[in-house]
Structure 1
Amino acid sequence: MQDLQPFTTSHSNINQLWASLLVEELIRHKITDFCIAPGSRSTPLTLAIANHPKAKEYLHFDERGLGFLALGLSQASQKPVVLVTTSGTAVANLYPAVIEARQSAIPLIVLSADRPVSLLNCGANQAIDQHGIFAQYPIFFTQIVQPSTEVSPNYLLTTLDHGLNLQRNTPAPIHLNIAFAEPLYPSQSCIEYQPYLRNVSKWIENNQPFTTFITANNDRLSRSEELNDKKIIVVLGKMHCSQQAQAVSAFCQQHDLLLLADIQSSQAAYPANLHYYDLFLLNPTFKGLLEQADLIVQFGEQLLSKRLSNFISDADGELWLVNASETRIDPNHQLDKRFNCHASDWINKQQYSPSVKNKAWYQSLHVCHKTLAKQVITPFLTAQPYSEMTVINTLDHLLPDNSSLFIGNSMPIRLADMLMKENQSTIYTNRGASGIDGLLASAVGVAHNSNKITTLLLGDTSLLYDLNSLALLKSLTMPFIVIVINNDGGSIFNLLPVPEKQKNRFYQLPHGLNFKSSCEQFSIDYYNPNQLIDFQETYNRCLQGKHSLIEVTLLNQQSATQLDQLKEQIEHATL
């Protein structure tokens, strides 16, 4: 039986709805003490607190004193306490209490109302820059965007949950700065927001926080999750520890679980992985089978595939994340459970035995996957001329098992994630910010500390960005092979809806250069094969050499054209 009244979906305006969502989520986290200073801009928060039957309000006209009142409340209750202020210097008056809270490890939650961005730096009344106003003292700060029905309510709930989880592990202040535009006060009529709230319908129907966090020290981790009756998809993102990644692959193989392994996990070649999943999500039959999943369990960090990320976002089932770090990994704002532990710790607690019905589902997906690969992928790649796709597919078979592969951003990493399925090398990327600078230098760093044969696959623009790092190769003792796909500029823009008239000059920036002279300058062996068989022979020769650069010279539009053709065949394949 619920001990809370059902969350109402009818509100005066979007400001009131968002404020009510925040207060409701705080109450669900058993946070009930709210310290409020009077003010107009914070009206949505004040009224949401006043209208909640479980909220306990403490009022004071002086924000400085209010902050210290909250400190005392928290120390006595051993629970977080919420502070609500209006905009302007009212927020600044909390600074002494925030400093004391950080120094004394006391969990305060500051909800400060702010002016919308259009009123900042233009002489508007009571409008100051409140972004990061408490400097380094909060362990979590976020600028909540102006309330809008264009922004999912998931964003609000998961952002608050993430901050509270950080605070739970490290007692200290957190700060959410919320930009409220008018209207600030309720009207006599109400708006029904049920259609807008459909993504949080499960949250509305229960009395639990949107995201549940379970740590290695939490007793929730000491028992097996209820998995046996669920159709499960395991998604493996970027993994820093190969042993943890292998534990996930072994778990999936042992229990016949579906595994979708990102290239960054270095597990693409393992038998349990449904390789080509990024492309096969275009096929209605394959995607329809995947959509029957009750649960998606993601291990690791970021995912490369935008199609997979969108599939997860649209999925009706639950989403769990298993990751030992405290970094937020929830780009779609939809996590139901987060396990803050190593993959192996979570796996060791599970006792999984799929039902006959679920085994039939798994088998249907494997048959569908195998048929698509045989009918479409294999004949398509076999029939293609020398191209970026066929080079990457061939490299997949040539890479030595005990070697390192560093993959550059833009087109190379996307095609590698789509097509590579055979190699068992260790994969490295710079996908934190996904820039194209410094890739060569990073690959050299990998080569130094791995002491393995290292291959770097990147585009021509990426190499131009970091050309002077060719000087670093002379310090290496193991073979280092640079494969540069030179299609004369940023070919990835052929996949994006950029204006055709401006594409060449403002996006692709064709340069008409090759890298032969650069290799001569830095005493690096240079090769420029013009057929796939030549590329294969050249790469094998480079494995026996020292430092080499293989330049694959191609037409700019070729990759996009081939990819469009392949996608169309997959989409219309009959199974």
Structure 2
Amino acid sequence: MGTAAERQTEWARLVIDSFVRAGVDDAVISPGSRSTPFVIAALRHEGLRCTSALDERSGAHYALGQARSTLRPSLLLCTSGSAAANYFPAVIEASEAGVPLIVLSADRPPELHNCGANQTTDQVGLYGKHVRLFANLGEPREDARSLRAARRFVSQAVSEATGVKPGPVHINAQLRKPLEPVAAGDELRERVDSVLAEPLTQVHRARPLTPTLVEHVPALVVHAIVDALDAASRPVILCGPADLRNAMFVDALTELSERAAAPILAEMASQFRCWSQTRAFGAFDTIWRTDAGRAGLTPDFVLQLGAAPISKGWEELSAGTRIRRIVVHPWEWADPTSDAEAIVQADIGSLLSALGRAELKLERRDVEFAARFARAESIVWETADQVLAEPGDALTEAGAVRAVFDALPNPSALVLGNSLPIRDVETWAPPSEKLLVVHSQRGVSGIDGVVSAAAGVASCVEGPTTLVIGDVSFLHDLNGLQLAADVEGPLVLVVINNGGGRIFEQLPIAHDGDESWLPFFTTPHDADLASAAAIHGCEHRGARTIAELRRALEEAYAGRGCTVVEAIVPPKSALEQGLELRNRVQQALARKAP
């Protein structure tokens, strides 16, 4: 019916169109020849927004950012050889964080394998157990059954990527020259059109995956949590990192907290700490990192919502005291300490809605516990304000974080880099009624690809996006500026430049080892970040004082596109001010005896 080149062209058209019909809106394309049939099909499709990423590693993290913002997978397109291997860090992050992602890798045909052919390697099962599904598309064929099978592969790929445990999938496609599109004859094109006109297979699950839907939570699960709350004297609701769906249930969480007399302790990435009318406490990490805080404010039951908290204070508290705890997460066994009483695998919002209808008994409550926690919360933020005020206009790491937080537009998206930035925000940024959707890369907590991921988030939101990132992480992903430069924005990349990876100065290696070892951990540098920003035409503004930083942020938010705001701070300011804060809070709590 058609030549091999015609079949390949139509096959690619069918696959790309099927992805669009399955709900894929974005394709991130990296350059290469072998993927030409799919790239041209993607560029020709009016329903697909295509982004060019010169570096596959950056492109994959950009797609991750898009998926975190939309909860839908983006399609990654690359050529054969090492190209798909550069997706690996993002694939691992997607797998561990439960973020949907689809890799469509072009490959050489079977006759070019195992014979020394150029740009050829075994791509079958490249990502191992880190993908939810791997499939080889097979030879392009023109019979209706084979065309339907190709569409089924697509439907399965999107279904698995957005399944009960979302994550990455990998489809590998072996392509032959000629790779350029060839106009097919009427008969072949009409056959493909006929198959495309058929409805794409839908997947219906007992657990709905659409974010706006509320799933059924069994009464047995609700009763177990209610019984634990009823038996507790000092319950708390501890909220770890979670995706943006949580923001829709702030009111439900607030109602549960009030009815159960259980304080909400929310990390920034939980989506519960910064939202209209939030009642969350945010100083618990600092409180529990003091002896007085642990002694006076230890709960006897914890309802953990979301992933394991980042909080070191919680880590220290739970290491020294066995606390009854039930963990709620849509799919993950989020219990790294292996001491949870129960794991509830349910949508967090759905569970909160179900608990809101349950009858709770408060006879066993310590009626002063929540009030004592509120007093301690106030002490921490008052003390933090004092510590922040003492350097005056001189810029410190803590001062930079607070200034950025104060300047964040309302509403907006906030992306937090790993290592110190996400911890600095926990320590120095209080709960707020600003409407902030907060994204973090906590699957494997890497410092790679964070600039690219922030650009991906910004590409899918209306209004401003802010990234708070460390200097080493920023340097690790300079290629991400290529993608950031094309975002309409405003996209504001705030780089806390403390001259290296200063989190290692807060770890035992800093004082238990040879002093000459430390630079291999902190990786000090003299990089010119203004020149780095200029490579891709991003604006750059430097700041060494609070006033300069505020002015730089104001100008960046008033503009368009990407601006790198470099906050230059003393190397040890995070360590020194963090210690000072905890020492003062310890003294204040000991005096108040909460």
> What TM bracket, shorter-length normalisation?
0.5 to 0.7
How many Å apart are 1:570 and its aligned residue?
A: 1.9
Distance in 2 separating the partners of 1:444 and 1:436: 15
How many Å apart are 1:281 and its aligned residue?
A: 1.2
Alignment match, 1:195: none
Distance in 2 separating the partners of 1:500 and 1:245: 48
Higher relative contact order (CA 8 A, sep 6+): 2
**Deviation per residue, 1:388-446 (Å, 9 max, x gap):** 10010121211112111111111111111122123431111111111111000111111
- Does the alignment pair 1:451 with 2:462? yes
Does the Cα contact within 8 Å between 1:283 and 1:572 map onto a contact in 2?
A: no
Unpaired runs of 5+ residues, structure 2, are: 1-127, 133-163, 166-214
Match for residue 256 of structure 2 among 251, 255, 268: 251
Match for residue 370 of structure 1 among 354, 369, 378: 378
Does the Cα contact within 8 Å between 2:482 and 2:536 map onto a contact in 1?
A: yes
Match for residue 409 of structure 1 among 418, 429, 435: 418
- Does the alignment pair 1:333 with 2:348? no
**Deviation per residue, 1:506-540 (Å, 9 max, x gap):** 21221111211122221111111221011112101
1:105-504 matched pairs, under 5 angstroms: 218-221=218-221, 223=223, 225-226=226-227, 227-230=229-232, 231-240=234-243, 241=245, 242-244=247-249, 247-253=252-258, 255-269=260-274, 271-291=278-298, 293-325=299-331, 327-347=332-352, 348-349=354-355, 350-355=358-363, 357-374=365-382, 376-384=383-391, 385-421=394-430, 422=432, 423-498=434-509, 499-504=513-518
Distance in 1 separating the partners of 2:319 and 2:499: 35
How many Å apart are 1:290 and its aligned residue?
A: 2.3
Distance in 1 separating the partners of 2:261 and 2:404: 29
Distance in 1 separating the partners of 2:251 and 2:563: 31
Alignment match, 1:529: 543
Going from structure 1 to structure 2, the CA distance change for 1:324 and 1:245 (only over 3 Å counts) comes to farther
How many Å apart are 1:541 and its aligned residue?
A: 1.3
Alignment match, 2:112: none
Partner SS state of residue 467, structure 1: coil
Does the Cα contact within 8 Å between 1:248 and 1:343 map onto a contact in 2?
A: no
Supply the AA of the counterpart residue of 1:507: F
Does the Cα contact within 8 Å between 1:256 and 1:272 map onto a contact in 2?
A: no
Does the Cα contact within 8 Å between 1:527 and 1:551 map onto a contact in 2?
A: yes
Going from structure 1 to structure 2, the CA distance change for 1:332 and 1:435 (only over 3 Å counts) comes to same
How many Å apart are 1:218 and its aligned residue?
A: 4.4
Match for residue 574 of structure 2 among 542, 546, 559: 559
Supply the AA of the counterpart residue of 1:259: I
Does the Cα contact within 8 Å between 2:387 and 2:580 map onto a contact in 1?
A: no
Alignment match, 1:87: none
Alignment match, 2:583: 568
Distance in 1 separating the partners of 2:407 and 2:278: 19
Moved more, 243-252 or 502-511: 243-252
Supply the AA of the counterpart residue of 2:436: S
Partner SS state of residue 479, structure 2: helix
Going from structure 1 to structure 2, the CA distance change for 1:561 and 1:503 (only over 3 Å counts) comes to farther
Going from structure 1 to structure 2, the CA distance change for 1:420 and 1:217 (only over 3 Å counts) comes to closer
Going from structure 1 to structure 2, the CA distance change for 1:383 and 1:424 (only over 3 Å counts) comes to farther
Alignment match, 1:68: none
Distance in 1 separating the partners of 2:328 and 2:482: 41
Taking only the aligned residue pairs, the percentage that are identical comes to: 20
Alignment RMSD, CA only? 2.5
Supply the AA of the counterpart residue of 1:290: L
Does the Cα contact within 8 Å between 2:501 and 2:521 map onto a contact in 1?
A: yes
Does the Cα contact within 8 Å between 2:297 and 2:369 map onto a contact in 1?
A: no
Alignment match, 1:72: none
How many Å apart are 1:219 and its aligned residue?
A: 4.5
Moved more, 473-482 or 245-254: 245-254
Partner SS state of residue 333, structure 1: coil
Does the Cα contact within 8 Å between 1:244 and 1:342 map onto a contact in 2?
A: no
Does the Cα contact within 8 Å between 1:236 and 1:298 map onto a contact in 2?
A: yes
Match for residue 505 of structure 1 among 519, 526, 534: 519
Does the Cα contact within 8 Å between 2:543 and 2:567 map onto a contact in 1?
A: yes
How many Å apart are 1:313 and its aligned residue?
A: 4.0
Distance in 1 separating the partners of 2:486 and 2:527: 27
Does the Cα contact within 8 Å between 1:391 and 1:532 map onto a contact in 2?
A: yes
Going from structure 1 to structure 2, the CA distance change for 1:229 and 1:275 (only over 3 Å counts) comes to same
Look at both structures and tell me which one has the larger radius of gyration over its CA atoms: 1
How many Å apart are 1:482 and its aligned residue?
A: 0.7
Distance in 2 separating the partners of 1:358 and 1:392: 36
Going from structure 1 to structure 2, the CA distance change for 1:315 and 1:352 (only over 3 Å counts) comes to farther
How many Å apart are 1:455 and its aligned residue?
A: 0.7
Unpaired runs of 5+ residues, structure 1, are: 1-134, 140-168, 171-214
Distance in 1 separating the partners of 2:285 and 2:312: 8
Does the Cα contact within 8 Å between 2:396 and 2:573 map onto a contact in 1?
A: yes
Supply the AA of the counterpart residue of 1:366: A
Number of residue pairs the alignment of both structures matches: 363
**Deviation per residue, 1:72-123 (Å, 9 max, x gap):** xxxxxxxxxxxxxxxxxxxxxxxxxxxxxxxxxxxxxxxxxxxxxxxxxxxx
Alignment match, 2:208: none
**Deviation per residue, 1:10-52 (Å, 9 max, x gap):** xxxxxxxxxxxxxxxxxxxxxxxxxxxxxxxxxxxxxxxxxxx
Does the Cα contact within 8 Å between 1:289 and 1:365 map onto a contact in 2?
A: no
